[in-house]
Structure 1
Amino acid sequence: MATNTAPFPALLGPHHLVHRPTSPEAFLLTAAPPVRQSFAFSGELPVTHPLFGDSPSHFHDPLIPLASLRQSMLFAALRYFRVPASRHAVVASASAAITGLEAWRRSDSRAGIVLELVMTPLDVVGGVPRGLECEAAVLIDGERCGTAASRLAFLLDGVYRNHRETGRRQSEESAAGYAAPSSSGLPLPGQVGHLHAGNVLVGLPERTGTEADAELSFPVDAEAAAGLRFEADAPDEVPPLLFLEVSRQAGLLAAAELRGFVPSHAVLSRWQATFRGFAEPGLPLRCTVREGVRRTDGRVRRDAEGRPVTELRLTFLQGSRVVARISASVLQDC
């Protein structure tokens, strides 16, 4: 068994990534053949982190598993799967879900988190994968309570630059004829699941559509979002965690607006995203939110414990260009 402490940003307290090799050479070479491999990540859940600890909610932050999973994938790609450091790691899709709410409740004592990771190399050429898929079971203090998954693509520099330039040109051209909605200000931190105004990334929404099919359009505060950056993020890219954090903030505010949920007692319980291009810093970014399929009687869906759950569809756009589509669920703890 090989143990390594990955160069993660200050997401957690002490943390480790452990490779569980399936072949003898992995013990000797501290590397892995380009086949399915198992890992385990462990750490302490933060209490005073400026983002992950800043919440009036009674729950641990659901962003932590995906943030930890992404960092684990990047480290494993370089160390175990021999992906060259010159390749650009691009998130193609990601998802997370809470399967046991009780384990996510915060207490006065420190809690430990474990991710049981299975990573599968994709499109292997010359022993080097061009992509990596990861699925994880999430455990808090030994209790299975969630899942997380992601798929990364590793792009050559020329391919990456071409995608970026093409996307930026399309965004600029479509934004030129698009009148961005004017925001009437910022929501209070508590409305979007935070305590401090510096963590508010969305403006108050503009509402369009009918009562039965309302759409909320949230401008994203690009300057504030620039602070949501960690060690592995490129300085000229929109941080990948931005989409999850904005989904959480817009989702909580939309659930309150559309269904009367109380944000301090609500949690983003499911999140599934596919990315269709790069969002470019310096260009306006907005997030639109609609409810998913409604019941015919108009009532909100309830989970197995009888708690209200609203299903949301989120779209991230620059101009008219879609950069991400997301489905999510917000659960009201009552």
Structure 2
Amino acid sequence: MDTFTAPSPSFLGTHHLVHRPASPEAFLLKATAPTRQNFAFSAELPEGHGLFGDSVSSYHDLLFPVESLRQTMLFAARRYFRVPSSWHPVVASGSAEITHLDAWRRDGRQAGIALELGMTPLDIVGGVPHGLECEAAVSIDGRRCGVASARLAFLAQGVYRGHRELGRRQSEESLAVWHWDPLSPGRPLPEQVGHRDSRNVLAGLPEHTGTVDHDELTFPIDAGAAAELRFEADAPDDVPPMLFLEVSRQVGLLAAAELRGFVPSHAVLSRWQASFRGFAEPGLPLHCTVRERVIGTDGRVCRDAAGRPVVELRLSFLQGSRVVARVSASVLQDC
């Protein structure tokens, strides 16, 4: 086994990553054959973090294991799968789900988190993958309580810049005719989006749009507040992928309260699945539309196996009329 501390101490705090190579050669050469490799990540869940520790709920933050998975994938891609550092990493999709809610509750003690990760290289050319897929099992204090996954693509800088320029041009053209106002008439209180500090509020108050049969909520995203959170980005002018998870949680709590009367301090984002269709540009207005996915014809709220109410949501992130990400999410009321 190869043990080391990686990848970003400033964001993840004290943590350890263990590579469990399938062959002695991988251990000696610090590189692997382009086949599935297994890793184990462990850390203490942060309590005093400006974002992770700023919560009105009694649950650990789902964002931490997802970002841990992403950064571990990037580290493994460079160190073990020989992906050139000049290739730009792009998150194509990601997901996370809480499978045992009790383990996510804070009890005042320092909790430890562990991820068992399996990484599979994709689109291999000359022994070097152009993509990486990862599945992880999540445990807190030794209790298996969640799963997470992600798929990364690695693009040459010219290809990456070409995609960015095309997407920005399409957004600018649609914004020129649509005249979207990036600022809402007001902002929610921090506790309405699960926080105490107003600086962590990223979503504006929603507007009702859609049709009579299909109500839709539209949330403007505060780009300035998002930039201040200083998520880990893969380039200085990137919109960090973890921003979409945090915004999904905030608009999910607001939508669940608006549509079903959920109480944010007792609600938790229990499932999140995202596919990314382009690059969001930090200098352009970003907004999120939310619709409830109603199962059945009676209009009643869904419930999980324990009988707790769950709101199923469909989110779309747009710049102008260009969709940059689509998300399926569940918000659970712990009552």
Task: State the TM bucket, normalised to the shorter chain.
Answer: over 0.9
Aligned length: 334
Shifted more, 27-36 versus 53-62: the winner is 27-36
Alignment check: 8 A CA contact 1:206 1:218 kept = yes
The 2-side partners of 1:32 and 1:211 are apart by 56
The 2-side partners of 1:79 and 1:232 are apart by 19
Alignment check: 8 A CA contact 1:11 1:46 kept = no
1:211 CA drift (Å): 5.9
1:16-95 superposed matches below 5 A: 16-95=16-95
1:172 CA drift (Å): 0.4
1:293 CA drift (Å): 3.0
> Does 2:218 match 1:205?
no
**Structure 2: tracts of 5 or more residues without a match:** none
Offset from partner CA, 1:88-124 (integer Å, 9 cap, x none): 0000000000000000000111000000000000001
1:180 CA drift (Å): 1.8
The 1-side partners of 2:13 and 2:210 are apart by 46
Alignment check: 8 A CA contact 1:121 1:132 kept = yes
1:306 equivalent in structure 2: 307
TM-score normalised to the size of structure 2? 0.97
* Alignment-mate amino acid for residue 251 of structure 1: G
The 2-side partners of 1:230 and 1:79 are apart by 23
1:219-298 superposed matches below 5 A: 219-298=220-299
1:187 CA drift (Å): 0.3
1:227 CA drift (Å): 2.5
1:214 equivalent in structure 2: 215
CA RMSD, 1 decimal: 1.2
SS in 1 for 2:178: coil
Shifted more, 190-199 versus 212-221: the winner is 212-221
Judged with a 3 Å threshold, the aligned counterparts in structure 2 of structure 1 residues 291 and 39 are, in CA distance, closer, same or farther, namely: same
TM-score normalised to the size of structure 1? 0.98
* Alignment-mate amino acid for residue 151 of structure 1: R
Shifted more, 114-123 versus 23-32: the winner is 23-32
1:192 equivalent in structure 2: 193
SS in 2 for 1:280: coil
Offset from partner CA, 1:121-146 (integer Å, 9 cap, x none): 00011111000000000000001000
**Structure 1: tracts of 5 or more residues without a match:** none
* Alignment-mate amino acid for residue 302 of structure 1: R
SS in 2 for 1:68: helix
* Alignment-mate amino acid for residue 229 of structure 2: L
1:32 CA drift (Å): 1.0
1:126 equivalent in structure 2: 126
1:232 CA drift (Å): 4.7
Alignment check: 8 A CA contact 2:233 2:239 kept = no
Shifted more, 6-15 versus 269-278: the winner is 6-15
The 2-side partners of 1:123 and 1:7 are apart by 24
1:329 equivalent in structure 2: 330
SS in 1 for 2:50: coil
The 1-side partners of 2:90 and 2:123 are apart by 15
1:210 CA drift (Å): 4.7
The 2-side partners of 1:184 and 1:259 are apart by 23
Instruction: Give aligned-pair identity as a percent.
Output: 74
1:231 CA drift (Å): 4.3
SS in 2 for 1:10: helix
Alignment check: 8 A CA contact 1:255 1:261 kept = yes
Judged with a 3 Å threshold, the aligned counterparts in structure 2 of structure 1 residues 132 and 193 are, in CA distance, closer, same or farther, namely: same
* Alignment-mate amino acid for residue 281 of structure 1: P
The 1-side partners of 2:232 and 2:32 are apart by 25
Alignment check: 8 A CA contact 1:205 1:219 kept = yes
Alignment check: 8 A CA contact 2:310 2:331 kept = yes
The 2-side partners of 1:130 and 1:216 are apart by 37
The 2-side partners of 1:169 and 1:105 are apart by 45
The 1-side partners of 2:30 and 2:204 are apart by 48
Alignment check: 8 A CA contact 1:3 1:18 kept = yes
1:24 CA drift (Å): 1.3
* Alignment-mate amino acid for residue 38 of structure 1: N
Judged with a 3 Å threshold, the aligned counterparts in structure 2 of structure 1 residues 231 and 241 are, in CA distance, closer, same or farther, namely: closer
1:212 CA drift (Å): 4.7
Alignment check: 8 A CA contact 2:21 2:27 kept = yes
Alignment check: 8 A CA contact 2:233 2:240 kept = no
